Structure 1
């Protein structure tokens, strides 16, 4: 299956092509190759079940495997990055032709329909973790994501994956923030998109429940009172039998 999306933003036209490489009647895994370009930028990435396996870093001129080494030892053939560079030339040629053919078409924008923020792992104060900001349902791609901590902008430890196409033609993206939770800290994830008049923001605060002995104490107290009641009842029953 091949899907092509042509997107206009101001005077810039972006062409995205994504190929579904592994599909069956019962879908076990979805393997996508995402390729895109604009006048000033480009991207080429492979994903598996929404996880980004490899992408071309055209700034540093190399291919990058963003997942930790323990996740997968799989590696693409040598020359994958060089092929991505060659594909960019084809993409820009298609871009030029598309701009001519679409010059009179109205611009299309869909604002994000979903924005959620959550932690990757269970929270433990003082233990490193990752906040995930997931935005979905927007068109065209990409979005811009900004993080704050206690009202201050945060850039260190942040990352964002390439736009991932949904089956309805919209996109989703995930931004991550490496952080160490401390009780009471407040984080926010803000998303900018051409279809939004102002950034869409979600807040997330560190709330770790401290261990409580209250229920155990009350349960223990109730059990003790119950046992005393049984003992008292038994005592008076025995005494009553002795008197009769």
Structure 2
């Protein structure tokens, strides 16, 4: 980030960035705790995820207020404006990720009567999604284009993994109707994880916009990489 003649504004930008990273840390913790509650059959842990979602929502409100005030009073331009616009988008994705983690915890409470199918598959998907979330937040913190692109690229594997799990659960339900409730719960948990990964991709795409000024949200991954590297002009 460039140096500012206005030290107070620079401090505000750093505080804004730190709040986003703190919110991201809470989302990561909520996601990990919700999956651990499932693996360990720990209802108490699931309830903690649900109870602590308010902390994520509170940070969203704080960050929204900060960005509105900075836009009104500081009238930022160029890279500072892109940082604030990125923050506005990222905070929305993080709040939705927190809701999805809370949803997993709520599903977990239903699995006491209907144990999930192939829990190891859900655990593997969660590991990949959490790594994707971590990559997106690291890319934001370090202004790292390479890590942002890596996060986006990982989404292919996660999507393929989720589709494979959907087919697997459907097979179980077709072969044994008694597994329908468990199969639906397992599918919903997997879908929440896959959507958390999608929001991580959104964050990575906004990091690229923040750094380069390129909006790559509606192009494929290969084209995005070409635009970022300068091998392809945006709009070609």
Larger radius of gyration: 1
More helix by share: 2
Give the structure, 1 or 2, with the largest relative contact order (CA under 8 Å, sep 6 or more): 2
What is the TM-score of this pair, normalised by structure 2?
A: 0.23
What is the TM-score of this pair, normalised by structure 1?
A: 0.23
